Chain A
């Protein structure tokens, strides 16, 4: 692998803000998202969902539904193959294929309100919905558990009684699906040497990713066994892999065409509808379209886990952190696989600890299966640890940024999750926050300022990209990752940079699963990083081919040819007129045919991105309402290819974190039914809730990327919760340990102290 650094090389596109290649179609309504596809003769599919949190399915009678005019196919759990237990790789959260299959369609038992029980395809959406009402399900209601405490009680009803560990060995019956432990040193002993120890417990509620586009797909199964799926997801290869696995199909029979995706944030790194749509299409012989309602999205997809976290940190009176220990319980939902491992990894990651340990537990409850949500597991952990760091700063009377600087992880430090850090930008990010005018701007009564830090990894994983030179000298790039937030632009810019051509001369397409090599999901902040790296490598390969072709034309030794400013030149002979891309491409037929290259790889060298956020809030002491009045977010982007999209990621992550802190939460009634399954009562921030969010980009290049890029998608959601809560504490003097800090909770806490 050639690792070309860009240091010293003047860059023309990287760092500028061109209009994205897919921009015009998205502002004119022409871009096609998941629900925008149709086929002649298409059927509509709908899903019957469980009204119970936990019940055995004694019998499903679909006869009356099948008799309804217009109903063409129905599938229930009996119609899908039994899948053996096997660990799947789901982008960001672990899943077992058998469990995934059961989540897509219940077998024998339902595990949460909203769990899919049957699917119907009919000639119209209305007929399919009518048919759902005619399906009779005989349930035997079982006792349910809805939170970590009751799920881990001695006499708790079991969500599953047949759980196996990773090796397929049956485990003792319990709702603790998994336990992990990591760290180094001996924190317990080290606490005894500490001058101060802060030990606090925190709770957070389940929250939804809140993408505006509901899950949607269209599937067509031909009589020859060929299957085509049009859908929006964070990975067409993921959809292909899971659908094929769940239905027992060969990967080569399934083609997934990626639609534009209307937001995912981790929530679209798994499948819900696609296997059902394919199964219905196989049975009916017609294309089947399925679109979730918003209510279904809330009840049956998503959420990020509710958690209980205890954090203990000991420090010297000079402010040096000696030891940290954390206990993290994350709700997995009705199937194993929360983000507790990542929570345990990140919780102490920003700091240098001689002794650090975290204990994580993945706990089953009768709620929808949790799914990845932007920096999965980390925001809750950061809420806990950054609140404790805030306490330490207060007790030790040290400036909170100074305290963090004193203990900040830097190159060479042993991380709490294992490896030693390479070059990272945490210190620079903290310093930028400290020097920013926001940090000591004056505040009014009832206002307070909070600061908090957070980090997230950049997954590398598998990527492929193809780069081809067209006859007119323009360049086509094919990537296999859906573009959620402007990655087409970044890829085009990197290619333009490599070739030394105009950005407009590069076209980027997202290929379907049959037209580009395998790519892992768009997630883990990896597209600009890893797929970008493949685009750079493929471009470099194409450039060396271009040099070879030019050498042929000139009949000179290829070693004398080099590429600069979009042209092949002979280094030592000024007299030879350089050849541009178009000239070489036009003559390609005579020099060896079409010019293209494919790069694929498993990108290693996981990077880290750190963020530090400053938040000012104002509290209405009579109603407990909290307004965010100023917000500045600092983040190490390594290098910002397209600064607007980096800022956009930072602003969007901050807004989601603010919502999580202030008002977002799943509210369940005692029977396990979600009470706020719509946007009116699931309170995500609206435009008038937020101030401008100033994004400050710090650039400490990532040594593992040709342009120094760090993935920036996820880290920005990690600091906001503690930044808001620390600001609220500064404004009121009250410690908050439970999310969300909604007006009733704030007012109650204020009353308790006054």
Chain B
């Protein structure tokens, strides 16, 4: 196996398309190097993306945020404006692995590893994140929702890579949150994950809601039926229970070493409800802060 560390997107795409299926892009390597070690993958060429300016850094503009696809979880956690705007996305990114893993793990890698249990993905879907892809055929923008096809399978074309993720500036009354269930407190892969973002009017009426679940299907899923339970009303406990029930109903998980089907189904609802409660609380806090400052 060979390692290359291109300095530009063109160079990276060139290397990847030349080597074809035998090449893999690498960001933090926290999935890839484990797969190498266990023999699950044997690429001929690893193309390190971390030296390419377009995949590094976080920009916080008036329109919104651009997060480089290779930016580490630790850097994301340190970006206060992003945390302020999208606390659910940041908390999901920060849940990935340990402090050591945080030093390397990227959003691009978390998404493209295409695990159904990837923590940042439901949060990004709930927040409405869009990613920029570049490949031999050029550039395109795709919602995060549409990237993962199934375990280990993505919608990326050959030699195509994710360059960055875009999030808007949150509108007034927006709140998001991510919750996951693991048997330990840290260092575990989600048995269930739930990301929710909401936008509420000052009156408390829910104007927009997105719910996404991880580890309960072959890929992270968006559950619009569950979101609909809150829409157009002031979310009371009845509405939240409805959301939970619909989230559970949408779950179609497997039994495996990490959890049973029945457990995952049941807990999907619980976590969707808890994430929604937290997102609503954050949205309410935003209104409160706004009225205080004005």
Contact = CB atoms under 8 A, between A and B. Distances in A.
Q: Do A and B bind each other?
A: yes
B189 interface: yes
Interface in A504-527: none
Given A625-B183, A663-B183, A681-B257, A748 B262 contact: yes
A751 B266 CA distance: 11
B277 to A, nearest CB: 12
A622 interface: yes
B189 A676 contact: no
A680 interface: yes
Contact of B183 (A622, A662, A675, A679): A662
Contacts of A411: none
Nearest to B183: A663
B251 to A, nearest CB: 14
B181 A680 contact: no
A295 interface: yes
B258 A689 contact: no
Interface of A is mostly: loop
Given A622-B270, A748-B263, A689 B184 contact: yes
B38 A663 contact: no
B184 A667 contact: no
Contacts of B267: 622-623, 743, 747
Nearest to B262: A748
A686 B185 contact: yes
A688 B185 contact: yes
Interface in A666-682: 667, 675-676, 679-681
Contact of B263 (A627, A681, A688, A747): A747
B183 A681 contact: no
B183 A742 contact: yes
A676 B257 contact: yes
A438 interface: no
Given A680-B188, A681-B258, A744-B263, A623 B38 contact: no
A369 to B, nearest CB: 22
A605 interface: no
Given A743-B263, A744-B260, A685 B189 contact: no
B167 to A, nearest CB: 29
B270 A683 contact: no
A751 B262 CA distance: 11
A686 B186 contact: yes
A739 B68 CA distance: 44
Contacts of A623: 181, 267, 270-271
A675 B263 contact: no
Interface string A286-298: 0000000001000
A547 B85 CA distance: 80
Given A623-B267, A681-B258, A686 B184 contact: yes
B259 interface: yes
Interface in A707-754: 742-744, 747-748, 751
Interface in A655-705: 662-663, 667, 675-676, 679-681, 683, 685-686, 688-689
A627 B182 CA distance: 12
A743 B259 CA distance: 9
Contacts of B142: none
Contacts of A751: 266
**Which of B38, B191, B262, B263: most chain A Cβ within 10 A?**
B263
B81 to A, nearest CB: 28
Interface string A241-283: 0000000000000000000000000000000000000000000
A680 B263 contact: no
A675 B185 CA distance: 21
Contacts of A663: 183-184
A489 to B, nearest CB: 31
Given A622-B267, A688-B184, A744-B191, 13 more contacts: A623-B181, A623-B270, A625-B183, A663-B184, A679-B187, A680-B188, A686-B184, A686-B187, A688-B185, A742-B183, A743-B191, A744-B263, A747-B266
What 9 pairs between A and B have smallest CB-CB spacing? Answer: A744-B263, A688-B185, A675-B257, A667-B257, A622-B270, A663-B183, A688-B186, A744-B260, A689-B185
29 contacts: A622-B267, A623-B271, A624-B263, A625-B181, A625-B183, A627-B185, A663-B184, A667-B257, A675-B256, A675-B257, A680-B187, A681-B189, A681-B258, A683-B183, A683-B184, A683-B188, A685-B184, A686-B185, A686-B187, A689-B185, A743-B263, A743-B267, A744-B259, A744-B260, A744-B263, A747-B263, A747-B266, A747-B267, A748-B263
Interface of A: 295, 622-625, 627, 662-663, 667, 675-676, 679-681, 683, 685-686, 688-689, 742-744, 747-748, 751
